[in-house]
Structure formats: C-alpha cells, structure tokens
Structure 1
Amino acid sequence: MDLNDIKDIDEYLYHFEEKLALRFFDERPYITSYYHSLKEEMSGIAYKNEIPFIERMRTLLKLDAKLQILHDLTRLQTEVTDGFDLSEHELIEIVENDSNTYYRETLGKRTSDSVPWKLSCLGDQD
C-alpha cells in the first residue's frame, strides 16, 4: 500500500500490525500490550474533533514516533533484544525515551539541538 492511498488512521496502523505481529506478538506479550495501547490511543485521538487540530497532531506524532521505533526494533530484534539481553520493559523504556527526540534525529539533528520549527517536529520534546 502506498502512503497516498491511506484514508484513515486504521489503514495507517494496519501496516504496523502486520509488521509487528510477525516479530513480537507471539513471543513478547508486554510489547504486544504496549503496541495495542498505542494503537488504541492513536485511534481515539484521531477522531476527537473537539480537541484542537494542533494538539491532536502533536499527540499523533508522539505516538507515531513510538510506533516507528518499535517498527525499527522488529528489524533489529535479534541484535537488540537477544544480543544485548534486553527485557521487554527495557525495550519499552528505550522507545519512550527515544521518541522524545525522534523527529529531530530523522532530520540529522543531535538530541541536544533545539527542536526545529516544523509541523513534523511537534511530537519532539526538549
């Protein structure tokens, strides 16, 4: 599926469900539960029109950063989770911490750099 074809948040999340299910859902119940809570929160906020658009976007970007990091970990699962002997709780802690600077880092910035004035960086925190 192409990103331009996505019509709603559920279609967007389906991609993650598909990828994460292959790696985590059977073997890592805590990560599975964490993913489902992110998914529920994302689905819930996407349609709350009583919340200002910018606030919804900020929340969605924060949640998406966490999903992106989880997705990246599925590709590195053996190296990260098995090779370094990280528990599920430690992995979630990494996701939570790294999501605060995710968009900055995707732009090639350092985590110590200030957050760029871009809509796509609304999810980052100083």
Structure 2
Amino acid sequence: MTDTSQTPAPQSAAQRLVGDIAPKLAELTDDVLFGDVWERQALAKRDRSLVTISALITSGAFEQLRSHLPIGRTNGLGREELVETIIHLAFYAGWPKAMSAIEVAREVFSAEPSREK
C-alpha cells in the first residue's frame, strides 16, 4: 500500500506571522517582496539588508527589525557594521530610535550561535 499523505510544505515567516488573519499580505510578502524585489540584481542582498535595516530603525519598526537583523547577518553584515549603522542613525533618525535599535540588536546577537562578533 502506498502512503498518499504528504508532509505539508514549511510555512514562510510571513505565513506564520500573518497568514491566519491576512493570507493575501503573506502571499504578497512572499511572492512580491521576497520573491521579486529582494531578487533584483541591481543591489546585492547584503546592501538590501543594510538599506532595509536602516529604514526600519528610522521608522521605529523595531519588531520588524528583530526579524531583519538575522537576515542581514545571513546576507553578510557583521555585528560591528550593524552596531555602527545604529550609531550613525542616532544622528539622523534620533537618539531614542538608536537606543531602542541597539537593545533589539543585543537580543538578536545574544540569541545567535557562536560566530563572528
């Protein structure tokens, strides 16, 4: 007898976060934002991460920053570069946003497996 059951495909982060209440938003996030925009060749993913992280800090979107810092690390941004970005943004986005961002970075970095500081 053949087992016809299939293991469901793993859910994306967007599906896990908002798929239950806003499936279309999850779909657009997966297909357009990460499937199209992030795959464009004019900017390297490392650079896209730096731009995205800077925009999130500037807009005060710290919950999303929590998700994008690990993406930035995966895309080649070092801790020192990220901390320096936050310091730099203190003068452009405001001290309170930089202080909040550095706390998020501390939490994210402390949860990382041991690797480059």
The answer, yes or no, to whether TM exceeds 0.5 is: no
TM-score, normalised by the number of residues in structure 2: 0.30
TM-score, normalised by the number of residues in structure 1: 0.29
Instruction: Give the structure with higher Rg (CA).
Output: 2
Greater relative contact order (CA < 8 Å, ≥ 6 in sequence): 1
